[in-house]
Amino acid sequence: DAKTTQPNSMESNEEEPVHLPCNHSTISGTDYIHWYRQLPSQGPEYVIHGLTSNVNNRMASLAIAEDRKSSTLILHRATLRDAAVYYCILRKTGNQFYFGTGTSLTVIP
């Protein structure tokens, strides 16, 4: 299984930026880095993904280290609705995902 390591939990104040780190030292050259989040009582929801270059979309930004052994999901202004478990995942060939334990994000009003 492709391994990723994330902190178990993080806190952020509302309307402040949040940087969620992920280590994936065993990443191979063809693995894409995906981020999903799971709100309470819902299925996981796609956030962003990338291969080598930094990526931006309407939800977040993804910063990928030059050696690709780590990445950071950036939420530019955390809201209460961003409280969720965030999963960093390496997508292997065949579109297989292996979810780790994720980071539980608490947003403080």
Partner 1 sequence: DAGVIQSPRHEVTEMGQEVTLRCKPISGHDYLFWYRQTMMRGLELLIYFNNNVPIDDSGMPEDRFSAKMPNASFSTLKIQPSEPRDSAVYFCASSLSNQPQHFGDGTRLSIL
* Binding characters for partner 1, 45-74, by CB under 8 A (x = yes): xx--x-------------------------
Between residue 21 and residue 40, which ones bind partner 1 under the rule CB under 8 A?
A: 32, 34, 36
The DSSP-derived string for the chain is ----B--SEEEEETTS-EEEEEE-TT--TTPEEEEEEE-TTS--EEEEEESSS-EE-SS-EEEE-TTSSEEEEEESS--GGG-EEEEEEEE-GGG-------EEEEEE-
State yes or no: residue 102 binds partner 1 (CB under 8 A): yes
Least separation in angstroms between CB 22 and partner 1: 15
Question: CB of residue 38 vs partner 1: minimum separation in angstroms?
Answer: 8
Query: How far apart are alpha carbons 17 and 105 in whole angstroms?
Result: 12
How far apart are the C-alpha atoms of 78 and 13, rounded to whole Å?
7
Binding test (CB under 8 A) with partner 1, winner from 10, 23, 44, 104: 44
Closest approach, Cβ 1 to partner 1, in A, equals 9
Nearer to partner 1, 49 or 68 (CB): 49
Interface positions with partner 1 (CB under 8 A): 32, 34, 36, 42-46, 49, 87, 91, 94-102
